Amino acid sequence: MSIRHGLLALLERGPRYGSQLRTEFESRTGSTWPLNVGQVYTTLSRLERDGMVAQGGEDGAGHTLYTITDDGRAELRAWFEKPVDRTSPARDELAIKLAMAVGAPNVDIRDVIQSQRRHTVKAMQDYTRLKAQALLAVESGGARERDDVAWLLVLEQLIFQTEAEARWLDHCESRLIRLSATARSAPDAPDAQSEPDAPAAGAPAPAPAPVARAGARTDRP
């Protein structure tokens, strides 16, 4: 339901036609999420079906314009006011993969973690490069200032998420080592050593683990 509302938000600034919406959507997100044109039209027709949007006239060049309706505006406000639900989060393929790799035959979960970390760190570097560009764009403040700020925020979201993923991978590795050690030493009588380095329950201030430094692995020494 995010494209739907994204288009509504763009339409609130005035009537637009299909591929114009695509362009504006992408300039907000800096082509981080390339939006297929087809989605715009299908989404627009659904919005029209639901009374959020009405097909207006044409502009000078003959493009059929879409206009937001009052229902659409109400829906948009509700969207902005209600937080995104994080109590039933989206499935994460990587998490599923590791969950399935735990104790799976013929799979060394360490290999999975390490190759994933290489990839994640590489993505992190790409984002960091992009962020440097975005900062330049924002600071040189052209007419597209608003779009540039939005792009910067989106990029930083990706950076924070990716960085968390890298730290989680590190954490998985050390946790698995710890668990297999205690499992071997005391299979049925676990000692109650609780939580050396995890985000502690109740006060989860994250350990500032160094990540992606100079493109190397992120293993702890």
- Residue ranges binding DNA (CB under 7 A): 1-4, 17-20, 23, 33-39, 41-43, 46, 50, 61-64, 88, 90-91
- Minimum CB distance to its own copies smaller for 65 or for 138: 138
Q: How far is the CB of 199 from its own copies (least distance, A)?
A: 6
Q: Which two tokens stand for residue 186?
A: 């005391």
Q: What does 156 interact with, of its own copies, DNA, none (CB < 5 to 8 A by kind)?
A: its own copies
Cross-strand bridge partners of residue 64: 58
Using CA atoms, how far residue 201 sits from 122, 169, 173, 205, 210, in Å, is 31, 19, 19, 9, 22
Q: How far is CA 201 from the centre of its chain?
A: 25
CB atoms within 10 A of CB 184: 8
Q: Residue 217 touches which of its own copies, DNA, none (CB < 5 to 8 A by kind)?
A: none
Decide: is 178 part of the binding site for its own copies (CB under 8 A): no
Site string for its own copies, 182-221 (x = CB under 8 A): -x---xx-x-x-xx--xx-xxxxxxxxxxxxxx-------
Beta-carbon contacts of 137 under 8 Å, excluding residues fewer than 6 positions away, are: 144, 148, 151
Q: How large is the angle between the packed helices 2-11 and 18-29, nearest 10 degrees?
A: 110
Q: Residue 163 interacts with its own copies (CB under 8 A)?
A: yes
Rounded to a whole number of angstroms, the minimum distance from the CB of residue 168 to its own copies is 4
